[in-house]
Amino acid sequence: MEQQQEIQQQQLEQLRIDQELEQFRIVREMEQETRPSKNGWIVVLVFAIITACLFFAFSAKAQTLTFADRNIERRALINGDTDNDGHISKAEADSIKSLNLTQYRTDMFVVSTYEDLALFPNLEKVWLGESKLDTVDLSKNWKLNYVNIQSDNLKTLILAVGCTPKLGYPMHSGEILVKRIKNPDAPGAMFFPY
């Protein structure tokens, strides 16, 4: 009887050991399933790099300006496309201080709209070339110190209050009416109540 009890005790002990080993094996398998493999880390890293590249490409493209007049865009590219990518970014437009939109013998064009000039907030000098427009709004360009007017069609020039550029009329005949409107972005705009 003692021998039977001893055998039962050994069997119970073996059963306990087998259970502990089985629990240990299950825990180890669960840890391995939740732990990423080396290949998993590589996949995660590659995905992160691709995502970052797409983000930077998209943000750079999002800052590329859209122009209403192709001729103004061509002139801006000549003056300000510093990275030579064929597009004008917001930073490049901010750096342009002068823009010549007059015709040359080899480059004949007519500007259809001057609304694109608002894209250049730091513009100091502008040469307005041939256009069928009778009014040009330069109120967003409050840093102007020189405006050259060539088109005989131009009758009204709109400037920001406080902006007093020198006006040149080398090819223009007739009078030009200068109107001033308030530009809230211009320094000192709050001092001009009208």
Q: Beta strands 166-168 and 98-100: pairing type?
A: unpaired
103-143 residue pLDDT tens: 766 667 788 899 999 999 999 999 988 888 999 999 999 89
Q: Which amino acid is at 67?
A: F
Compute the half-sphere exposure of residue 9: CA atoms within 13 Å on the CB side of its CA. Answer: 6
Cβ atoms of 159 and 165 within 8 Å: the answer is yes
> Rounded to an integer, what distance in angstroms lies between the CA atom of residue 14 and that of residue 137?
95
pLDDT 10s digits, 22-40: 888 888 877 766 555 666 6
Task: Report which of 119, 62, 113 is spatially closest to residue 95, judged by C-alpha positions.
Answer: 119
Q: What is the mean pLDDT of residues 182-189?
A: 69
Close Cβ partners of 68 (under 8 Å, ≥ 6 residues apart): 112, 113, 115, 116
- Say what the pTM is: 0.62
Cβ distance 144 to 165 under 8 Å?
yes
74-93 pLDDT, tens per residue?
Answer: 889 988 888 888 889 898 99
